[in-house]
Amino acid sequence: MTPLEPHPNDPAATKLAQLPDPRLRFVYRLEATVGQPLDLGEVAQGRRRIVPLTSGTFAGPEISGKLLPGASADWQIVLADGTALGDIRYTLQTEAGDLLYVQSRGVRHGSAEILARLGRGEDVDAGEYTFRASTQIETAAPALDWLNKGVFIAVAGRQAGGVIYETYLVA
């Protein structure tokens, strides 16, 4: 069989755009303390818990400051297997006084044994489970407008009495 010669109407592979590989740029690390969870009990989606973020600080190459308590919590659904689905909303205040509203949708999962330890509030190495989130950041600060336009991801870890989020801009 002889291959056909290219024809002008053939779709050309060379016409397809080569897309860039995504890159991550570190934005900040937030270390927050958590308060006593409010356990609402079983709802249609799973066990509903509200975990207040009571204090904390964040720092990165371009911004740093503190977490504002009372305006920060994780509205969780915990599934039967221990997987936690987070709706994490917190408010940060930069050292310059600018406010950032951060909303993340996250998932924390791992083996049954590891999730049980996390559920009891034990310290567990973050490499033993997965805790990731997609994040949006809003601010009215003109100098930080780039945050409003970014796509962010977070890698997180739960500790006894606290949580750590490292947030990255997807570039």
The predicted-structure confidence for 4-31, as pLDDT tens digits, reads as follows 777 777 765 555 689 999 999 999 999 9
Confidence of residue 1 (pLDDT cuts 50, 70, 90): confident
Q: Report the distance separating Cα 106 and Cα 88, nearest Å.
A: 7
**Tens digits of residue pLDDT in 54-83:** 999 999 999 999 999 999 999 999 999 999
pLDDT for res 14: 54
What mean pLDDT do residues 90-94 have?
98
Question: Which CA distances in Å does 9 have to 2, 12, 13?
Answer: 19, 9, 12
Q: What domains can you pick out in the chain, each with its CATH number?
A: 20-170 (2.40.160.20)
pTM of the model: 0.86
Cβ atoms 121, 106 nearer than 8 A: no
What mean pLDDT do residues 156-163 have?
91
pLDDT at 161 over 90: no
Question: Which CA distances in Å does 64 have to 7, 141, 151?
Answer: 59, 14, 19
Pull the structure tokens for residue 138: 């809003």
Cβ atoms 56, 33 nearer than 8 A: yes
What mean pLDDT do residues 93-109 have?
97
Pull the structure tokens for residue 60: 């990165």
